Amino acid sequence: MSIIKTVRGKTPNIPTDCFIAENATILGEVSFGKECSVWYNAVIRGDVHYIKIGNKVNIQDGAVVHATYQKSPTTIGNNVSIGHNAIVHGCTIHDNVLVGMGAIIMDDCVIESNTIIASGAVVTKNTRVTSGSVYAGVPAKKVKDISIELQTGEINRIANNYVKYASWFKE
């Protein structure tokens, strides 16, 4: 059974059409939009600041979403995929973003729409990732502009696939 826990009087708000894996952990001031999924061993801790998650967001296995106490909340837009074992901490992610497996996005970063953060990338504190870009490396830097093929073939495909995958677990 998932751990969904009230902390300091704040309870996660999870619509009924979302899929939450049996061993996912969601705590405190966390709100989800529609058609979201939180996968196995993922942790979303809204204990120290709020976390707002848009529609059609998937937070994959082992990912951690957190914030910084009284300073940096986390806001995730629509149609966002947070890859396996990624860390998203005290930042803003706009719509149509793919955060690759094992990537780390630190406090006060802004990830603009239609971007890909490559697997293993580390987006350091206060970085602004420009719309339509692919960022990779440690520290993450822009490596190229995103093509329409990457946008539709990766960002949209993965977000749509995770809505489909979640439906398999609701049958």
75-100 pLDDT, tens digit per residue, is 999 999 999 999 999 999 999 999 99
Residue 23: the pLDDT is 97
Q: Could you report the per-residue pLDDT of 8-22, keeping only the tens digit for each?
A: 999 999 999 999 999
Percent of the chain that is helix, strand, coil (3-state, to 5)? 10, 40, 45
**Domains of the chain by start residue, with CATH:** 3-168 (2.160.10.10)
Residue 152: the pLDDT is 81
- State the average pLDDT over residues 108-113: 98
Residue 148: the pLDDT is 85
Q: What is the mean pLDDT of the chain?
A: 96
Q: Widest CA span of the chain, in angstroms?
A: 45
Predicted TM-score (pTM) above 0.75 = yes
Residue 80: the pLDDT is 98
Residue 18: the pLDDT is 97
The distance in angstroms from the start CA to the end CA of the chain is 17
Q: What stretches of the chain show up as alpha helix (H) in DSSP?
A: 148-150, 157-168
pLDDT at 1 over 80: no
Residue 167: the pLDDT is 95
pLDDT at 136 over 90: yes
Q: Please give the Cα distance from 123 to 50 (Å, whole number).
A: 21
- State the average pLDDT over residues 98-114: 98
Contact between 120 and 103 under an 8 Å Cβ cutoff? The reply is: yes
Residue 151: the pLDDT is 83
Q: Please give the Cα distance from 22 to 24 (Å, whole number).
A: 6
Residue 150: the pLDDT is 83
Q: What stretches of 80-156 show up as alpha helix (H) in DSSP?
A: 148-150
Residue 161: the pLDDT is 96
The one-letter amino acid at 127 = T
Tell me which residue of 49, 126, 60 sits closest to 87, measured CA to CA.
60
pLDDT at 65 over 80: yes
Q: What is the three-class DSSP state of 65? A: strand
pLDDT at 42 over 80: yes
